[in-house]
Chains A and B, each alone.
Chain A
Amino acid sequence: LMASSSSSSSAQQRLRIIAGHLQKRPEDENASVAAQECKAEAPRSEPSSATPVPRRRQEIMKWNGWGYSDSRFLFNKKGQAEFTGKRYRLSGLILPSLKDWFEGTFGANLQHRSPATPSLNLSAVAPPNLNQPFVEDLKAAGLTVSHDPEDRVFRAHGHCLHEVFALREGRIGRVPDTVVWPSCHSDVEKIVELACEHNVCLIPYGGGTSVSSALECPREESRSIVSLDTSQMSRILWIDEKNLTAHVEAGIIGQDLERQLNERGFCTGHEPDSMEFSSLGGWVATRASGMKKNIYGNIEDLVVHIKMVTPRGVIEKSCLGPRMSTGPDIHHFILGSEGTLGVVTEVTLKIRPIPEYQKYGSVVFPNFQQGVACLREVARQRCAPASIRLMDNEQFQFGEFCFFLILLSFFCFDPQHLCVATLLFEGDRGKVLQHEKQVYDIAAKFGGLAAGEDNGQRGYMLTFVIAYLRDLGMDYYVIGESFETSVPWDRVLDLCRNVKERIVRECKERGVQFPPLSTSRVTQTYDAGACVYFYFAFNYRGLSDPVHVYEQVEHAAREEILANGGSLSHHHGVGKLRKEWMKESVSGVGLGMLKSVKEYVDPQNIFGNRNLL
Chain B
Amino acid sequence: KQRDSRNHKQSGDSTECVAEEASLILDEMAHRLQLSTVRFFVFTLSKAFKRLFRSVCVNEEGIQRLQQAVQEHPVVLLPSHRSYMDFLMMSYLLYMYDLPLPVIAAGMDFMSMKFVGEMLRMSGAFFIRRSFGGDKLYWAVFSEYVKTMLRNGYAPIEFFLEGTRSRTCKSLTPKTGLLNIVMEPFFKGELFDVNLVPVSISYERILEESLYARELLGIPKPKESTSGLLKARRVLSEDYGSMYVYFGHPVSVRSLTEGKITRSQYNLLPRCIPQKPSADTHEFLNDAAFRLVRIQEENMVLKPWVLIATLLLQNPDGMDLSSLAEQTDWLRHLALAFGAYLDWPDHEACSEVISCSLALHRHLLSVSAGHVQLSVTDAPQVESTPEEAVFHQAVVVLSCASYRNQILHVFLRPALLAVAMQSANSNRKDDVYNCFNFLRNMFSNEFILCPGDSVQDFEEACYLLMKRGVLQVLEHEIVMSASGHSTLAFLSSVLDPFLQGYQVVSRYLCEETNENLTEKEFIPAVRNFALKLILAGRLKCYEALSSDLQKNALAAFLRLKAVRKVKVTYQVNFEGLVL
Contacts and interface: CB of A to CB of B under 8 A. Distances in A.
The B interface, classified by DSSP as helix, strand, loop or mixed, is loop
B266 interface: yes
Contacts of B192: 497-498, 501-502
B189 interface: yes
A437 interface: no
A563 B265 CA distance: 8
B267 interface: yes
A563 B264 contact: yes
A565 B268 CA distance: 8
A494 B190 contact: yes
B264 A495 contact: no
- Considering residues B189, B192, B263, B271, which has the most beta carbons from chain A within 10 angstroms of its beta carbon? B189
B190 A565 contact: no
Contacts of A498: 189, 192
A563 B258 CA distance: 12
B270 A565 contact: no
Nearest to B185: A494
Interface in A549-585: 562-565, 584
A225 B267 CA distance: 41
B271 to A, nearest CB: 7
B189 A494 contact: yes
A491 interface: yes
Contacts of A490: 270-271
Contacts of A562: 264
A494 B187 CA distance: 12
Given A490-B270, A490-B271, A584 B264 contact: yes
A502 B192 CA distance: 8
B1 to A, nearest CB: 17
Interface string A481-495: 000000000110011
A584 to B, nearest CB: 7
Contacts of A502: 192
Contacts of A491: 189, 271
Interface residues on A, range: 10 to 19
Interface in B205-223: none
A495 B262 CA distance: 16
Interface in A408-446: none
Contacts of A494: 189-190
A565 B189 CA distance: 8
A296 to B, nearest CB: 30
A384 to B, nearest CB: 23
A563 B257 CA distance: 12
Given A490-B270, A490-B271, A563 B263 contact: yes
A502 B186 CA distance: 13
A564 B264 CA distance: 7
A132 B161 CA distance: 74
Nearest to A498: B192
A589 to B, nearest CB: 16
A338 to B, nearest CB: 23
Interface in B172-229: 189-190, 192
B375 to A, nearest CB: 59
Contact of B266 (A497, A501, A565): A565
Contact of A564 (B189, B262, B270): B189
A250 B267 CA distance: 37
Nearest to B270: A490
A498 B192 CA distance: 5
A563 B189 contact: yes
Nearest to A563: B263
Contacts of B266: 565
Interface string B231-275: 000000000000000000000000000000011101100110000
A564 B190 CA distance: 9
Interface string B65-101: 0000000000000000000000000000000000000
Contacts of A565: 189, 264, 266-267
Contacts of B271: 490-491
- Considering residues A502, A563, A565, A584, which has the most beta carbons from chain B within 10 angstroms of its beta carbon? A563
A495 B263 CA distance: 13
A498 B189 CA distance: 7
Interface string A478-522: 000000000000110011011001100000000000000000000
A557 B270 CA distance: 23
A565 B263 CA distance: 9
A448 B181 CA distance: 36
A442 to B, nearest CB: 24
Nearest to B189: A564
A525 to B, nearest CB: 19
Contacts of A563: 189, 262-264
A319 B566 CA distance: 71
A564 B267 CA distance: 7
Nearest to B266: A565
A501 B264 CA distance: 18
A605 B271 CA distance: 43
A498 B194 CA distance: 12
A499 to B, nearest CB: 10
A502 B258 CA distance: 13
A491 B187 CA distance: 13
A515 B229 CA distance: 55
B495 to A, nearest CB: 44
A139 to B, nearest CB: 52
A510 B477 CA distance: 45
A491 B189 CA distance: 8
A569 to B, nearest CB: 15
Nearest to B193: A501
A563 B189 CA distance: 7
A564 B266 CA distance: 8
A501 to B, nearest CB: 5
Nearest to A502: B192
Contacts of B189: 491, 494-495, 498, 563-565
A563 B262 CA distance: 7
Contacts of A495: 189
A502 B263 CA distance: 15
A570 to B, nearest CB: 15
B422 to A, nearest CB: 49
A485 to B, nearest CB: 12
A270 B266 CA distance: 34
Contacts of B262: 563
A256 B270 CA distance: 44
Nearest to A495: B189
A584 B267 CA distance: 12
Nearest to A497: B192
B156 to A, nearest CB: 20
A25 B463 CA distance: 89
Contacts of B190: 494
A580 B267 CA distance: 19
Nearest to A491: B189
B521 to A, nearest CB: 51
Nearest to A565: B267
Nearest to A585: B264
A565 B269 CA distance: 10
Interface in B101-143: none
Contacts of B264: 562-563, 565, 584
A318 B137 CA distance: 57
A578 B267 CA distance: 19
B96 to A, nearest CB: 32
Nearest to B265: A563
A584 B265 CA distance: 11
A31 to B, nearest CB: 56
Closest 6 CB pairs of A and B: A563-B263, A564-B189, A565-B267, A494-B189, A501-B192, A498-B192
Given A491-B189, A584-B264, 15 more contacts: A490-B270, A491-B271, A494-B189, A495-B189, A498-B189, A501-B192, A502-B192, A562-B264, A563-B189, A563-B262, A563-B263, A563-B264, A565-B264, A565-B266, A565-B267
16 contacts: A490-B271, A491-B189, A491-B271, A494-B189, A494-B190, A495-B189, A497-B192, A498-B189, A498-B192, A502-B192, A562-B264, A563-B189, A563-B262, A565-B189, A565-B266, A584-B264
